[in-house]
Structure 1
Amino acid sequence: MAVSETAGIAPVLGFALVGLLGVGSQWLAWRLRMPAIVLMLAAGLLVGPGIGLLDPGRDFGALMQPMVAIAVAIILFEGGMSLNRQSLSDAATGVRRLVLVGGPLGWIASSLALHWAADLSWETSIVFGGIMIVTGPTVIAPLLRQARLKKRPAALLQWEAIVNDPFGALAAVLAFELVVVVHNAATMGEAITDMVVGILASIALGVAGGWGLARAFRNALVPEYMKVPVLFVILLAVFALSDSLLHESGLLAVTVMGIWIANADLPSYAELRRFKEHATILLVSGVFILLAANMSRETLAGLDWRAVVFVLAVIFVARPVPVLLALAFSNIPWRERLLVAFTGPRGVVLVAVAGLFGERLTALGIADGQRVSVLAFALVAATVVLHGFTLTPMARALGLKATETPGVLIVGGSRWSAALGLALRKLDLPVMVADPNHAHLRHAREAGLETFWGDILSEAAEHKLDFVSYDKVIAATDNDAYNTLVATDLAPEFGREHVFQLKRMRQQSARHALPSTLGGQRIGADETYFEAIARLAEGWEFRVTKLSSEFPIAQWRERNPEGVPVADLGPNGTLRLLGPDDKVKETDGTRLLFLGPKRQERKEDRRDENGNDTMKAP
């Protein structure tokens, strides 16, 4: 049998269950537009202390701690790989202040909250307080993806979370060493020496690992198909070696290694980062399920009113006060300061490291060390649920969302792009037209549309454009190969179902034809660039109308027999770009964007069937 009262669930079945629950929670969160972390937390609690199906400590035994430690190391490494120095831009000052000033202040404030609100001893409070300065990249990343913040506040939260994570663990190490000195009467000099040597060694290992990998990859010393396996092996070696010199310093080493690789300008960096992102999604899912399921009913029953007071003190005092002090008199606007100050979700690293040090404090004879794990879990659960549901509304109230409704990025400047952009703007959607040829953007500029002069696939575009404002891409240049390249390259970022391109010219010879598996979705009448331009020249135009019970799609079709649906915008603000085989939503209040012949204007008929202005090509 796979499950019994004594043996529990079989390890292989347990791994499968963790994977199913983790990925399933993320998928369900995507479908329901809910914070994924909340569902993962609920799923772990359900199968763990809820129905007792999974007990990681029992079912995986001694493998539990190493699995979580390696997973956290890989997550932090992937986070470090996303910290390119150019992504800091105008957030650099804020990040330095949050790490160098906010970190120590947060340590002090958290220690005070633990001692006075949770009634822990000073020894336990100082150790646990160091861990609490971390804000969890495992939680921040999915929250930022959902909230769609503007570039600078998003960068502040992301950089603080990733950089502070290893330093929080090291702060706990430092505090614990001091507690050991007090209890074991060891010399302070030895403890400080061990600490300094360990930190310097971990930084050196991280730099050496990153430098060595970058040099090997750049000089083709590693074949393409082995780059990811070699990366993983070196990552694990750096983490294990650093951790053997000083406990928890491995987190610092792998973070430094990730940052080094991110700034090494490797030609294969995009492929490495994409694979790491996929691995991290799996690991974040698995670790959250494991940690939630590992909570026992007895531990959860130990949560009392002091735990509630402690969580409230952290959320409303120990987190915001240090952040506001750190960012005072900086170039960060007050709205962004408030958002960062009241956004401090904790995640995997806090629970994992807190559990480790709780056991060590208890072994030293400090009785309340056993309360560290339950308080850490309470803080993680409370902040995950709170910020999961409040970050988006708070960002909206402070005016810090990149856009309320994601818009459309049109690659390729032309009369067709400008006309379509104007029609989309009529739907109150953000529109950007990009082209490396400045002259091609003339129509878009004359129409008053936002433009980007440059290659949309360039590094400059990645750092200058706020891609989070757009969730649809239309590749519409006169170069079919470039359209296919843009659609293929941006598909993993935006989702293949959200990337479109104009129809490719039919090639006479198969040797000149691009593979059908590359490129984007079809759009509108599925025309080539030259057919689309010719249609506008013949007098066709993009128009917008509103469907309702009084004016259904059938009536629209009667009045516009030649009309070609291009997009529809539902009453809830959901935009769909339509291909030739897609059906228009018939929901009452849907706004339909279509391409149709220009109507003969009369003095009394300059508006469409529902009173909407027609959109003419500029």
Structure 2
Amino acid sequence: MEGSFTITLQIVIAVFAGITAQVLGETLKIPGIVFLLLIGVALGADGLGILYPDKLGMGLEVIVALLVAIILFEGGLNLELRDLGRVSSSLRNLVTIGTGITLFGGSMAAHWLGEFPWQLAFLYASLVVVTGPTVISPLLKQVAVDRQVATILEGEGVLIDPVGAILAVVVLDTILNSEAGVMEVLNGLLLRGGIGIIIGLVGGAIMGLLLKKPLNFLSEDLKNLVVLAGVWGLFGVSQMIRSESGLMAVVLAGVVVRSLSVPEERMLRRFKGQLTMLGVSVLFILLAADLSIASVFALGWGSVLTVLCLMFLVRPLSVFVCTIGSRLNWRQKLFISWVGPKGIVSASVASLFAILLTQRGITGGDSLKAIVFLTIMMTVVIQGLTARWVARGLKLTSEGTTGAVIIGCNALGCLLGELFQQEGESVVMIDTDPEACEGAEAVNLNVIQSSGLDESVLEEAGIESLGTFLAMTNNGEVNLVLAQRALEEFQPPRVFAAFPKNSKARTPANKTKVNQAFMSEIPIKVWNEYVDEGKIKLGHTVLREEGFSFQQAHLQALIRSGELLPLLIKRQDSLQVVKADQEWQPGEEIFYILHDPRPKLLKRLSGGETASRLAIERLAEVEEVSLATPESN
């Protein structure tokens, strides 16, 4: 009874510590694995002596295996085949050629710099060919680099994990059975990979097809648990046929389920994402607590140099070789070279290998585990904490991406498009109305006549490389649907939809990252009529530090009266659509239109300009209009 209580207490401590580390990471915007490692070591035998994973016995190996299976299935579930297709050559090369470069480069560094025997040097290199998806995914959410780079890093992290695990097992088999020939080694590698691929494809297809059927007798929660049982079932069957083939099986199963577009996919991904976070938290705490700090220090400076060589020589060489002929620019390649943190698969497999080597009487198991954890700590801390700065320095953050895709070639939409172009940003207009499209083309805007709901059209418009998506047809509900669809499929940095202030559509918008565009008290349709009839003045102003409160109050009064509509705001050389809840700051430049109710005839008799000249021809000479009433202008 006492033994079971001790084991229970160890698991409870691990779960509590793991969730605490994740909360700290999210609060401080630092990769959670940093705190997982620190807290795990602090609770272990070399720290406070509270957590002793060795008391779990064989249970630790079972926990590691089952949780890694969930982590890799969730990784496969998050892979989008359409995105992978765009970077397929680079990704394929990183998983194949890159693995070879890392294997040989890492083993030479470990042997010559770390003074490891060749056998352990190759085993170490096989363990660190992988990058950690559980580290990279949270890191990319915080850094928010452009989608092409993110797809490569996420795809590599997920796909290379099973490849690396299988490779590591083959190398271990070779060490334990030194009489094995080259063909036996290759056969073992191909056999494990082939079994995993077949079981993963078949099992994933069966799961996906079952989920696509209307299983009304099962609740949504129960369906998630059925999938969990299916994942562990596939993993177990594959492992039973051939050890270490189960990792490949669960990754492929996740990819297949995602590709079949099952109705419950979003809920399934959310459930598996929560399980993955729990699994990573518990695993890292347990494995870090089991680490001997003395063994890490015993490695010496040679092992530190080995890891630095792996980070700053082997990884960049691998990336630049594998991306030859790709469309990636040097900045993207440099960032991919910088981000290669190791994660849970390296840690868990290294821990298991250390046990196996010790059981077979082969020395060096503790040193192998120590250098793998040293690699994890150095890559996560150095790369994880600096990735945001590196991305900003290379100008790869999606927040800084310029340009816009605008749905709606109405008068106001065209005016916004011209303002973006005037500021040197790329703009693509999309509309189904041929006449509206012709009007936009007449003012030299790039136009696609089609539906904004069509993914291929948005791809053609270059939504993945542009910073803003704005849906501003005359129908607010349609705008919200368009914006939510674009957000789900492409995750642009800034997503806006124009809909009335008191619209019922506002509630769901608050639950997503869709922003309500414009601070308007009257419908956008009315402003379109004002622009068409020439009843507007186009202007811009800079909010000064001196008198800012008065300017802000006057601006809000004009907006509430329906006389002024702020369109764009420029801050730190970044042009953005004004949000409904926009907060003004001194130094910002605001582009807006001011309602001018004078009839066209009166304007012409008084020497005023027509709407087309005001709104189109003179955009290069935008008149500064003070934030006063229309009469004073």
**Structure-2 change in CA distance of 1:108 and 1:297 (3 Å):** closer
Q: CA deviation at 1:161?
A: 2.2
**Structure-2 change in CA distance of 1:390 and 1:430 (3 Å):** farther
Distance of 1:287 and 1:574 partners within structure 2: 44
Partner of 1:531: 526
Partner of 2:15: 15
Partner of 2:624: 607
Matches within 5 A, 1:142-541: 142-182=138-178, 196-220=190-214, 225=220, 226-266=222-262, 268-277=264-273, 279-284=275-280, 287-328=283-324, 336-395=332-391, 404-405=400-401, 410-423=406-419, 433-437=429-433, 439-442=435-438, 445=441, 454-460=450-456, 474-489=470-485, 500-503=497-500, 516-517=507-508, 522=516, 523-536=518-531, 537=533, 539-540=535-536
Are 1:585 and 2:584 an aligned pair? yes
Query: Contact conserved, 1:47 with 1:53, CA < 8 A, in 2?
Result: yes
Distance of 2:82 and 2:497 partners within structure 1: 29
Distance of 2:420 and 2:42 partners within structure 1: 45
Query: Contact conserved, 1:540 with 1:595, CA < 8 A, in 2?
Result: yes
Distance of 2:496 and 2:274 partners within structure 1: 20
Query: Contact conserved, 2:110 with 2:303, CA < 8 A, in 1?
Result: no
Distance of 2:432 and 2:35 partners within structure 1: 43
Structure 1 window deviating more from structure 2 (341-350 vs 455-464): it is: 455-464
Distance of 1:529 and 1:411 partners within structure 2: 14
The one-character-per-residue Cα deviations of 1:373-422 (angstroms, maximum 9, x if unpaired) are: 22112212222233234445545555655562567654433222233445
**What secondary structure does 1:344 align onto?**
coil
**What secondary structure does 2:400 align onto?**
coil
Query: Contact conserved, 1:8 with 1:55, CA < 8 A, in 2?
Result: no
The one-character-per-residue Cα deviations of 1:533-555 (angstroms, maximum 9, x if unpaired) are: 23444623564422222241413
**Structure-2 change in CA distance of 1:130 and 1:41 (3 Å):** same
Query: Contact conserved, 1:568 with 1:584, CA < 8 A, in 2?
Result: no
Distance of 2:466 and 2:134 partners within structure 1: 24
TM-score, normalised with respect to structure 2: 0.78
Distance of 1:407 and 1:53 partners within structure 2: 55
**Structure-2 change in CA distance of 1:52 and 1:558 (3 Å):** same
Distance of 1:341 and 1:476 partners within structure 2: 40
Matches within 5 A, 1:85-164: 85-164=81-160
Letter in 2 for 1:216: L
Query: Contact conserved, 2:467 with 2:493, CA < 8 A, in 1?
Result: no
**Structure-2 change in CA distance of 1:62 and 1:533 (3 Å):** farther
Query: Contact conserved, 2:15 with 2:278, CA < 8 A, in 1?
Result: no
Query: Contact conserved, 2:535 with 2:595, CA < 8 A, in 1?
Result: yes
Partner of 1:74: 70
Query: Contact conserved, 2:10 with 2:51, CA < 8 A, in 1?
Result: no
Distance of 2:280 and 2:496 partners within structure 1: 27
The one-character-per-residue Cα deviations of 1:15-66 (angstroms, maximum 9, x if unpaired) are: 234223314422431xxxx555545555555666896386362687755443
The one-character-per-residue Cα deviations of 1:538-585 (angstroms, maximum 9, x if unpaired) are: 623564422222241413544885245566555596968432xx4633
Q: CA deviation at 1:344?
A: 2.1
Letter in 2 for 1:117: L
Query: Contact conserved, 2:501 with 2:521, CA < 8 A, in 1?
Result: no
Q: CA deviation at 1:112?
A: 1.4
Distance of 1:428 and 1:288 partners within structure 2: 48
Query: Contact conserved, 1:565 with 1:584, CA < 8 A, in 2?
Result: no
TM-score, normalised with respect to structure 1: 0.80
Distance of 1:59 and 1:438 partners within structure 2: 72
Q: CA deviation at 1:111?
A: 1.4
Q: CA deviation at 1:109?
A: 1.4
Query: Contact conserved, 2:53 with 2:287, CA < 8 A, in 1?
Result: no
The one-character-per-residue Cα deviations of 1:95-136 (angstroms, maximum 9, x if unpaired) are: 222222221222111111121222212221222211221122
Distance of 1:443 and 1:288 partners within structure 2: 59
Partner of 1:613: none
Q: CA deviation at 1:324?
A: 3.4
The one-character-per-residue Cα deviations of 1:76-109 (angstroms, maximum 9, x if unpaired) are: 2222233343223442222222222221222111
Structure 1 window deviating more from structure 2 (420-429 vs 308-317): it is: 420-429
Q: CA deviation at 1:207?
A: 1.2
Query: % of aligned pairs identical?
Result: 26
Query: Contact conserved, 1:21 with 1:289, CA < 8 A, in 2?
Result: no
The one-character-per-residue Cα deviations of 1:240-266 (angstroms, maximum 9, x if unpaired) are: 222233333211111111222233354
Letter in 2 for 1:52: L
Structure 1 window deviating more from structure 2 (169-178 vs 459-468): it is: 459-468
Letter in 1 for 2:377: A
Partner of 1:597: 595
Query: Contact conserved, 1:26 with 1:36, CA < 8 A, in 2?
Result: yes
Distance of 1:156 and 1:414 partners within structure 2: 38
Query: Contact conserved, 1:560 with 1:596, CA < 8 A, in 2?
Result: no
**Structure-2 change in CA distance of 1:514 and 1:552 (3 Å):** closer
**What secondary structure does 2:176 align onto?**
helix
The one-character-per-residue Cα deviations of 1:139-195 (angstroms, maximum 9, x if unpaired) are: 23233334444444433333322221111000011011111112xx67888776665
The runs of 5 or more residues in structure 2 that have no matched partner are 1-5, 559-563, 598-602, 610-617, 628-633
**What secondary structure does 1:596 align onto?**
strand
